[in-house]
């Protein structure tokens, strides 16, 4: 029997890769808490908090969840999920934002 | 390659990787199928939590002043600590997956236990937060009272009207709207906490398995269950990454 050892192909990365990812996430956590205590208009506070949250989530998805190293099909599935989420947000918000545009009488 | 040769080749692959399912040709194909299936599950979880986030956003927009006042009763230090704890647990989970891929069962067990440890700290903190809300009558049930919200924000109540600075709201409506905030708070963090709890159970099962693999010195254990649990665990972390600023931080100053 041929004794070629079958090495499985894995997504394992060097330890430093995971450590650096954690440091970046911690830095973003500090920034988001600091920003939360700054005086700013509500819309700006939301924009800053959400930008940082989306950045953190993207880093977790790419590095910790290994999507960076996964197949194109995995990319498609992960991407489709967030695309559908955007559709749900867009339609729900568009509905609520436009409700008072309709004449109230007769409804 | 003839059919016979292909079968021989497959037989060899199966001999080397005993956990290869018979419907797959290679272990890479099987692992890809695992990953896609797990992502399909996570996508529906994203939409599940997404619906809650969407309705929370709509009501926060509608009752901004009441929601902001209710925001302030949440403890930012507790929220920050819990975010810190979950981020570290995501790191230890990633290390557990790495160890599993390298077939280092002892290390895998160690990092799984660390992940369970940090997840438990999260749950303990949550317990303290919930019980403080309970003592302040902020659980959205019949005994709910907005008194703590009014007291915490130093709001003035005159003739049954709550003075919110920009406008005055009848006390009854103020109670209802802040109660709505706490309904969102408890449903969203509660469902998230439930996910953490389920995660702890799965991690415990994986830890037992890792311990057995370590004892038996299994050379080629299937690392995919650990990696899939990792995907789930990181997803739970991501939900909290959004819950934390949206519930705790966006109160404005």
Side-chain half-sphere CA neighbours of A101 within 13 A: 6
Evaluate whether B232 touches B34 at the Cβ level (below 8 Å). Answer: no
| pLDDT for the residue numbered A106 | 66
Q: Rounded CA gap, A84 and A86, in Å?
A: 5
Q: Of how many residues is chain A composed?
A: 107
pTM (predicted TM-score): 0.90
Interval B9-27 mean pLDDT: 79
Report the residue of A16, A26, A28, A33 to disrupt the B interface, i.e. the one with the largest count of B CBs within 10 Å: A33
Interface of B with A in 82-141 (CB under 8 A): 83-84, 87-88, 90-91, 93-95, 97-98, 101-102
Structure tokens at B217: 């010195």
A24 CB near a chain B CB, below 8 Å? no
Evaluate whether A74 touches B39 at the Cβ level (below 8 Å). Answer: yes
Q: Please count the residue pairs, one from chain A and one from chain B, whose beta carbons lie less than 8 angstroms apart.
A: 146
Structure tokens at A29: 């956590």
Structure tokens at B64: 């901004």
Burial of residue B247 (CB within 10 Å: 0-12, 13-18, 19+) is buried
Q: Rounded CA gap, B125 and A10, in Å?
A: 36
Task: Name beta bridge partners: B170.
Answer: B161
Q: Rounded CA gap, B15 and A86, in Å?
A: 46
Question: For tokens 């975010």, what's the residue?
Answer: B83
Structure tokens at B153: 């924000």
A90 CB near a chain B CB, below 8 Å? no
| pLDDT for the residue numbered B219 | 86
Minimal Cβ distance to A22: which of B17, B32, B91: B91
Interval B216-227 mean pLDDT: 91
ipTM above 0.90, yes or no: no
pLDDT at B242 > cutoff 90? yes
Strongest mean pLDDT among A40-54, A65-79, B4-18, B228-242: B228-242
pLDDT at A4 > cutoff 50? no
B13 — pLDDT class (breaks 50, 70, 90): low
Interval B54-65 mean pLDDT: 93
Minimal Cβ distance to A92: which of B36, B58, B235: B58
Task: Name beta bridge partners: B60.
Answer: none
Pairing of strands B168-170, B161-163: antiparallel
Chain B residues near residue A38 by CB distance under 8 angstroms = 253
Report the residue of B48, B92, B249, B250 to disrupt the A interface, i.e. the one with the largest count of A CBs within 10 Å: B249
Report the residue of A3, A27, A36, A82 to disrupt the B interface, i.e. the one with the largest count of B CBs within 10 Å: A36
User: Which residue from A minimizes the CA distance to B35?
Assistant: A74
User: Which residue from A minimizes the CA distance to B93?
Assistant: A64
| pLDDT for the residue numbered B57 | 94
Calculate how close chain A gets to B228, using CA atoms only, in Å: 9
Chain A residues near residue B35 by CB distance under 8 angstroms = 70-71, 74
pLDDT at A42 > cutoff 70? yes
């Amino acid at each position: 029997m041929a004794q070629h050892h079958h090495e499985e192909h894995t997504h394992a990365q060097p330890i430093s890769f995971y450590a650096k990812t954690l440091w970046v996430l911690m830095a973003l956590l500090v920034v988001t808490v600091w920003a939360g205590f700054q005086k700013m208009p509500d819309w700006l506070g939301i924009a800053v908090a959400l930008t940082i949250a989306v950045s953190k989530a993207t880093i977790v998805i790419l590095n910790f969840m290994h999507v960076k190293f996964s197949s194109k099909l995995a990319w498609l599935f992960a991407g489709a999920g967030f695309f559908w989420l955007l559709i749900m947000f867009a339609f729900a918000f568009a509905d609520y934002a436009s409700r008072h545009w309709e004449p109230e009488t007769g409804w | 390659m003839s059919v016979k040769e292909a079968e021989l080749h497959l037989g060899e692959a199966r001999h080397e990787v005993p956990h290869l399912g018979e419907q797959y040709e290679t272990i890479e194909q099987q692992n890809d199928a695992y990953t896609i299936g797990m992502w399909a599950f996570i996508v529906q979880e994203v939409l599940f939590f997404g619906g809650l986030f969407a309705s929370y956003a709509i009501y926060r927009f509608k009752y901004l002043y009441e929601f902001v006042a209710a925001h302030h009763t949440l403890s930012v230090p507790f929220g920050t600590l819990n975010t810190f704890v979950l981020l570290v647990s995501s790191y230890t989970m990633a290390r557990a997956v790495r160890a599993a891929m390298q077939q280092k069962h002892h290390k895998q067990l160690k990092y799984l236990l660390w992940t369970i440890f940090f997840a438990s700290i999260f749950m303990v903190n949550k317990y303290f937060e919930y019980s403080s809300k309970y003592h302040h009558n902020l659980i959205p049930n019949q005994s709910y009272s907005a008194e703590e919200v009014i007291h915490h924000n130093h709001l003035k109540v005159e003739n049954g009207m709550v003075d919110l600075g920009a406008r005055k709201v009848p006390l009854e409506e103020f109670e209802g709207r802040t109660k709505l905030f706490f309904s969102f708070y408890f449903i969203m963090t509660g469902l998230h906490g439930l996910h953490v709890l389920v995660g702890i159970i799965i991690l415990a099962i994986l830890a037992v398995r890792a311990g057995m693999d370590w004892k038996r010195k299994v050379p080629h254990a299937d690392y995919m269950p650990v990696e899939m649990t990792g995907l789930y665990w990181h997803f739970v972390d991501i939900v909290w990454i959004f819950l934390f600023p949206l519930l705790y931080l966006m109160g404005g100053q």
